[in-house]
Structure 1
Amino acid sequence: MDAVSNRFRAAIKSKKFIVTAEVMPPKGANPQHMLEMADGLKDWVHAVNVTDGSRAVLRMSSLACSALLRQAGIEPICQMTGRDRNAIALQADLMGAHALGVRNVLALTGDPLKAGDHPKAKPVHELDSIRLLRLIRKLNEGTDYNEKPMNDGALDIFPGAAVDPQSTSWSGLQSRFEKKLTSGAQFFQSQLISDFDKLEKFMDQVAVGCDRPILAGIFLLKSAKNAAFINRCVPGVDIPQHLIDRLAAAKEPLHEGMKIAAEQVQAARQLCQGVHMMAVRREDLIPQILEMAGVEPQTQRQVASTSSAVR
């Protein structure tokens, strides 16, 4: 496995503070903007997530975009949902991902179709995120969904899962987290975090001792209007009123949003092993946010590590 396929996994194994970020696939034939955004991130993050029909809105295939990122020398995390594919299609895509060198997969159930731009489309949902993790484990062991041997070789997929430390159902959160752990999740990326007391409680009471990195979701709020929209339209998210008021009072709301995100990165560093950065349509600002938070570029860390090894 080459360096482009291994940076993320190696960083997790060495217990580094992990930074990932998210890019949005294009709606159409031209991936240039996505590639430009990802290129600006590659020196700052261990891997770049590509969404798979996020909010049930039509976009280019996450797998195709992940392959394009890899060709550009950027390690991808391919998000894959069970909403739109049955077990045959999921296995086919996972085998295709492996053949293309895309090894990191975030297993998701998928957002409800009624929230998106094709509300009359028919969902599949044969496999939810937990069953998808179990499927990946079988493929890695060399057997298919029906436990029949794969004659042309086992896969080597590095699977992750989503987690929501702000869930209103504490028992449900605990149960699903434990099931994802036992089903083979090697890392967790959280939903947008706005309540860091709940994240701390989750880390102390649920994730403690799991030996898997939890990456706190950090979202760039661009304005008070943007924060209100997220509260209204994104399930399970509750941006506190004091942050909305802070954005509303700011002379430069976007810059204030960057400051808030940087403060949240600093808070997350005290609680968990990484952050997952989200800045829809302004992914170019993520390096600045990380710099404001005191996070060094990955290239600098690698140079420092090499120099230390030489000494």
Structure 2
Amino acid sequence: MFDELISKLKHGNYLTLETTPQHEPTMENIIEKIKEFDLASKIDGFSTTDSPLAKLKYNSLFAAMKLQNEFKKPVVTTLTMRDRNKIALQSDILGANDFDIRTFLCLTGDPAKMSDQPNTKGVFEGNSTMLLQIIRSFNHGMDFAGRPFKKQPKEIYPFAVTNSYARNFKTLENKMHKKIQEGAVGIISQPLYDLENAKMLLESFQNAKENVSEHKQDTQLIFGIFPIIKLRTALFLSAQVPGIHVPQSWIDALEKANNISEEEERKVGLELNHKLFQDLKAFHPKIHLMTANNFELANELITQ
């Protein structure tokens, strides 16, 4: 299962779909929506988020187990440094290994001050680099303290993230270089909305791979897509989210459509995103699709 996913990442077309577990004790609503649109047959794998924005959600590891068992597709499970120290992180990864949960997206995590739980304190014993280092230790048969396991864990595949845009792309290169050095097999970008942006990011990624060990040259860049079908979303991302660039042409097109009707706004948004999706597939067919559990929208983009 995982060998096939990593092979597609390195040598072919690759498409994963993000799922966001909810503030409820079940994954059934998400599973039913995925079944409704037969999405499992149209993608290479899923991902699960880990209480994004520090809001309490169903656990990402259990969500991954549910999805893998239900659809027989690999799941990239997000783990953040915000909520766990190095003991808890290693314990989670050890237990997950036994249940064949072996691909992890390593994140530092959103600040605990954003939480919906009163007086929450973040752990942040390290950043995402430490999590990559922990996984590298596991893949060499020992824990982070250098103590060997009696039984070698099954191979673990770590993923990392990068901003998709910067005024100075050299800063992105340096950060990506470090993550490649620490063993990330894939680096997922923040959402992209422009083919030229994608070309600049891929060039920076290729520069970041210089002077790394030969066996790390297979690390791949994965383009993130978060479809925008509303003007207010485009304005928010453009003004409030660092590391993302929304072209003015998108904002103008959505504003013009918004002045006509809500239906026209959605139609124009779909056209923009579908063109982007097709352009990225033709240019560099390694994509991670994020739709905030709007699986109908995901299906429209994938199958149009």
Q: TM-score range by the shorter chain?
A: 0.7 to 0.9
Q: 1:212 maps to what in 2?
A: 219
Contact 1:231 1:237 in 2 (8 A): yes
- In structure 2, the gaps of 5 or more residues are 210-216
1:163 Cα offset (Å): 1.4
Range with bigger deviation, 265-274 or 152-161 = 265-274
Q: 2:108 maps to what in 1?
A: 109
1:222 Cα offset (Å): 2.6
Q: How does 1:108-127 map to 2 (within 5 A)?
A: 108-118=107-117, 120-127=119-126
Q: 2:14 maps to what in 1?
A: 18
Q: Are residue 142 (structure 1) and residue 149 (structure 2) matched? A: no
Q: 1:71 maps to what in 2?
A: 69
Q: 1:241 maps to what in 2?
A: 248
Identity of aligned residues (%): 27
Contact 2:163 2:244 in 1 (8 A): no
C-alpha separation between the residues in 2 aligned to 1:85 and 1:171? 31
CA 236–203 in structure 1, closer or farther in 2 if over 3 Å, else same: closer
What is the DSSP-based 3-state SS (H/G/I as helix, E as strand, rest coil) of the residue aligned with 1:178?
helix
Q: How does 1:90-239 map to 2 (within 5 A)?
A: 90-118=89-117, 120-207=119-206, 210-239=217-246
1:38 Cα offset (Å): 3.6
Amino acid at match of 2:19: V
Q: Are residue 285 (structure 1) and residue 294 (structure 2) matched? A: no
Q: 1:267 maps to what in 2?
A: 279
1:56 Cα offset (Å): 2.0
1:169 Cα offset (Å): 4.5
What is the DSSP-based 3-state SS (H/G/I as helix, E as strand, rest coil) of the residue aligned with 1:266?
helix
Contact 1:50 1:65 in 2 (8 A): yes
C-alpha separation between the residues in 2 aligned to 1:230 and 1:119? 27
1:213 Cα offset (Å): 2.1
C-alpha separation between the residues in 2 aligned to 1:128 and 1:232? 26
Range with bigger deviation, 189-198 or 93-102 = 189-198
C-alpha separation between the residues in 2 aligned to 1:7 and 1:288? 26
What is the DSSP-based 3-state SS (H/G/I as helix, E as strand, rest coil) of the residue aligned with 2:125?
coil
Contact 1:23 1:37 in 2 (8 A): no
Q: How does 1:39-58 map to 2 (within 5 A)?
A: 39=35, 40-58=38-56
What is the DSSP-based 3-state SS (H/G/I as helix, E as strand, rest coil) of the residue aligned with 1:177?
helix
Q: Are residue 7 (structure 1) and residue 7 (structure 2) matched? A: no
Q: 1:295 maps to what in 2?
A: none
Q: Are residue 29 (structure 1) and residue 44 (structure 2) matched? A: no
Give CA-to-partner distance per residue, 1:288-311, whole Å, 9 cap, x none. 21223xxxxxxxxxxxxxxxxxxx
C-alpha separation between the residues in 1 aligned to 2:105 and 2:18? 12
C-alpha separation between the residues in 2 aligned to 1:62 and 1:156? 19
1:6 Cα offset (Å): 4.0
Amino acid at match of 2:293: R
Amino acid at match of 1:36: E
Give CA-to-partner distance per residue, 1:83-141, whole Å, 9 cap, x none. 11100000011111111111111111112233443473111111211121111010111
C-alpha separation between the residues in 2 aligned to 1:150 and 1:105? 20
Contact 2:205 2:221 in 1 (8 A): no
C-alpha separation between the residues in 1 aligned to 2:134 and 2:74? 23
C-alpha separation between the residues in 2 aligned to 1:255 and 1:51? 28
C-alpha separation between the residues in 2 aligned to 1:130 and 1:171? 19
What is the DSSP-based 3-state SS (H/G/I as helix, E as strand, rest coil) of the residue aligned with 2:42?
coil
Q: Are residue 84 (structure 1) and residue 83 (structure 2) matched? A: yes
What is the DSSP-based 3-state SS (H/G/I as helix, E as strand, rest coil) of the residue aligned with 1:146?
coil
C-alpha separation between the residues in 1 aligned to 2:77 and 2:244? 23
Give CA-to-partner distance per residue, 1:192-229, whole Å, 9 cap, x none. 11243232122124325643221111111131122223
Over the residues paired in the alignment, what is the CA RMSD in angstroms? 2.0
Contact 1:214 1:273 in 2 (8 A): no
C-alpha separation between the residues in 1 aligned to 2:34 and 2:206? 30
- In structure 1, the gaps of 5 or more residues are 293-311
C-alpha separation between the residues in 2 aligned to 1:90 and 1:279? 27
C-alpha separation between the residues in 2 aligned to 1:48 and 1:115? 26
C-alpha separation between the residues in 2 aligned to 1:120 and 1:234? 25
Contact 2:194 2:276 in 1 (8 A): no
